[in-house]
Structure 1
Amino acid sequence: MSLHARRRRRNAATVTPLAALCTTAAVLVLPSPAAAHPFGDPQTVSIAPDEQRNDVVRVRWRVGGPDDLTLLGVSLGLLPADRVLLDGAVDYRATDPAVIASSEQFPAYLLKQITVADGARPCLGSVAPLRALARIGATIDYTCPGPVGSVTVAVRMLTDLNPAYRAMATGPGGQRAVYGSGEETHDWSLTSRAPAAGSTSRGRSAAVQLAGVIAAVLLVAVGVPLVVRRVRRRRVLA
């Protein structure tokens, strides 16, 4: 075999494993359909007691980004699969929220992924009519077996698509929680009260007074050296 032929065989043997390695790497880093979306605006959830019925808990869920609705619609079989591109980008269209809201699958998904319990007793959920889903969100009333003072609320929205999804939740009296994979449940007090207006005013007044003191100290710290320098300059000129 000639020297030239041996070199071509050696180069081919080197390139073939390298090409296979590059192909494998490309497959490994190819994002899944939900890969690019959990890191945008988070979902939001609010928990509140019903003002008229002491056995009802109202939960409102709102999606973080409208493309997350499209992704969910594809997952539920409501939108064509090709709306999620190979690179993970989502082809969102303004009609997607209405398609999802008018389906039977989405309310069932809500009731499966968001649950409320009074101790060991589950509360029965009912989804309110869905209007402007992307902008307003969805509201669910959960009727418990009896009057409730505290409940356990579980939120698993979208974490079945990607565990990186998070939901920022708020409750009565300024309560807050973050839902996510591994942190799916949280206990909420429905009788918590927000701080009284008087205490808030006093807090603001104290903050204003503190700011005034700090400003005065800074003024003295800056002003005294200037006065000293001016006095020294006058003495030198004299």
Structure 2
Amino acid sequence: MPLRGLAGGLATALACVVAVFGAPAPAGAHPFGDPQTVAITADPGRPEVVRVRWKVGGLDDLTVLGVNLGLLPQDRVLLDGAVFYQPADAATIGPSKEFAAYLLEQVTVTSDGRACTGTVTPPDDLAKTGAGIDYTCPKAVGVASVAVRTLTDLNPAYRTLATGPGGARAVYTDDADTHDWTLSGGAAGQAGRRAAVQIAVVLGGLLLVAAAYVLVRKRKRRA
């Protein structure tokens, strides 16, 4: 067969394959494994700071994210959805500016209706301990509104299990991506301290009244 005819035949065959199976697509997501997690905490020494730690659920999700961010080659995810995670993936993704920008875009914090500025700490071990983000707000935080949209941009079926101060818990989904958290620091902590002071003052007053009553009774008996 002439080369021209062979090339034409290969082109026709490739067109048929694409028509049947579709052209190669971006890395597919795997949202039905272990859920990703976030932990929201106050910073004891900085009442204006909200700390968020994000951790991926399945390591294959980390690879999928790396492919979608352009940090890993497309061939790490096959057309049938199989994902090939390698330990080096976390080391490639973790310190990258693309990953930091992704977290800051998908995880946001507001307090009193004002946005807080996030700073991503380069993770020591992204696969095991996740990544930490510190959000600095305009003033001490009582209630923080935290939005989490990581991975739902790849597939809306992803879920995020969240924990907060005092054992509070929540589940983030594509259609419920924002939750309010009451922090132990900031205005909430100040309110608690004010309440404790008021209670102490009241109890002290009651003790003084009781002591005065006892003294009066003793004097009456002596008289």
State the TM-score, normalized to the length of structure 2. Answer: 0.71
Q: Is the 8 A contact 1:33 1:89 kept in 2?
A: no
* Structure of greater Rg: 1
Q: Say if 2:135 is the partner of 1:130.
A: no
Q: Is the 8 A contact 1:34 1:161 kept in 2?
A: yes
CA displacement, residues 144-202 of structure 1 (integer Å, 9 cap, x when unaligned): 00011111000000101111111000001111110111111000000389xxxxxxxxx
**Equivalent runs, 1:79-228 vs 2, <5 Å:** 79-191=72-184
CA RMSD of aligned residues (A): 2.2
Deviation of the 1:120 alpha carbon: 1.5
Amino acid in the other structure paired with 1:105: E
Q: Is the 8 A contact 1:70 1:96 kept in 2?
A: yes
Deviation of the 1:32 alpha carbon: 7.6
- Structure 1 residues 128, 32: closer, same or farther in 2, change over 3 A? closer
Name which structure has the greater RCO, CA cutoff 8 Å, separation 6+.
2
Stretches of structure 1 that go unaligned for 5 or more consecutive residues are: 1-19, 194-238
Alpha-carbon distance between aligned partners in 1 of 2:25 and 2:99, rounded to the nearest angstrom: 25
* Off by >2 Å, runs of 4+ in structure 1: 30-35
Stretches of structure 2 that go unaligned for 5 or more consecutive residues are: 1-15, 190-223
Alpha-carbon distance between aligned partners in 2 of 1:134 and 1:127, rounded to the nearest angstrom: 16
Q: Is the 8 A contact 2:161 2:172 kept in 1?
A: yes
User: Partner of 1:55: helix, strand, or coil?
Assistant: strand
**Percent identity of equivalent pairs:** 60
Alpha-carbon distance between aligned partners in 2 of 1:33 and 1:57, rounded to the nearest angstrom: 33
Alpha-carbon distance between aligned partners in 2 of 1:162 and 1:182, rounded to the nearest angstrom: 12
Deviation of the 1:40 alpha carbon: 0.4
